[in-house]
């Protein structure tokens, strides 16, 4: 890094690791988003089945909800890891 002849404090500051711009999603964030999307589709299918009178499909509703929460956890964990890598 080159500084001007009479440097100002801001001109010669060390570069930041992250300047606040968007970075690409990590693999774990993508996996979490895909898991959430699939779980929401399964949740809708199971909810329609429960509404049609198939009472055992309620287990599918519970499982789909649990999978969606797990996908959300994966997505958040991936985002936090990316923020730590970017020194934010």
Whether 64 maps to a domain, the answer reads: yes
Is the confidence at residue 75, as pLDDT, over 70?
yes
Please count the other Cβ atoms lying within 10 Å of the Cβ belonging to residue 74.
Answer: 19
Q: In this predicted model, what pLDDT tens digit does every residue of 44-73 receive, in sequence order?
A: 999 999 999 999 999 999 999 999 999 999
For the chain, the average pLDDT equals 86
Whether 49 maps to a domain, the answer reads: yes
Whether 47 maps to a domain, the answer reads: yes
Q: In this predicted model, what pLDDT tens digit does every residue of 15-49 receive, in sequence order?
A: 555 566 677 899 999 999 999 999 999 999 999 99
Residue 65 lies in domain? 27-85
Global pTM exceeds 0.85? no
Is the confidence at residue 7, as pLDDT, over 80?
no
Cα dist from 32 to 6, 8, 14, 37, 87, whole Å: 50, 45, 35, 9, 22
Whether 33 maps to a domain, the answer reads: yes
Whether 12 maps to a domain, the answer reads: no
In the chain, the number of structural domains is 1
Whether 54 maps to a domain, the answer reads: yes
Whether 7 maps to a domain, the answer reads: no
């Amino acid at each position: 890094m080159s500084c001007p002849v009479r440097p100002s404090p801001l001109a010669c500051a060390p570069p930041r690791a992250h300047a606040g711009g968007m970075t690409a999603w990590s693999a774990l964030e993508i996996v979490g988003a895909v898991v959430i999307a699939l779980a929401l589709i399964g949740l809708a299918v199971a909810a329609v089945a429960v509404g049609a009178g198939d009472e055992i499909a309620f287990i599918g509703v519970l499982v789909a909800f649990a999978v969606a929460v797990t996908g959300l956890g994966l997505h958040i964990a991936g985002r936090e890891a990316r923020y730590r890598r970017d020194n934010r």
